[in-house]
Amino acid sequence: MPQSIDGIIQRLVDRGGVDVSAQVEEPMRRRVAELMAPLKGQALCHDLAVQITTILSTDRMLLALQPPRFWIHFSDPDAAPAERFLGVVVTRAVSLELAILSAALFDIHPGGQANGAELSAYLTIDDAFCDRLLSPAEAEHLTRMLDAQVN
């Protein structure tokens, strides 16, 4: 994680976003830059990270731009095979990195290793499956629902 808010802002507004999993569109990059401008120059700390995550997840204009949804899979690679799966979170964010950070800051990250991917925009996902830790049974049910939309 960058050590300054300026580094976070720069990574969020650069073409391509913070990671290669999501292409951040120009209007979204401009809005993120506007929202983060007042925070420039501050040292990154837990409270500031929570503030950033809250701003980016609740801004109406940013939400109107429909940031992508991400599927985040949590696992413990050191656990026995039957106990490796820790859960899934589906959430909207401007990047996979921010989706994982949000899960951690809002206590829906169960620990372990986080891997994720952007979900296609055409997929319909009931809000009841979003922004919380899904159990293995719920994650399997949602997977079947998404597979049915694709196949």
> How many C-alpha atoms does 67 have within 13 Å on its Cβ side?
26
The pLDDT of residue 23 is 55
146 and 74 belong to one structural domain: yes
- Domain of 39 in residue numbering reads as 5-64
79 and 48 belong to one structural domain: no
Domain end residue (candidates: 41, 64, 87): 64
Give the orientation angle of helix 5-13 with respect to helix 26-36, to 10 degrees.
160
74 and 142 belong to one structural domain: yes
The pLDDT of residue 90 is 95
134 and 118 belong to one structural domain: yes
Taken in order 98, 99, 101, 102, the sign of the CA dihedral is positive
Q: In which residue ranges of the chain is pLDDT below 70? A: 1-25
C-alpha span between 52 and 57 (Å, rounded):
8
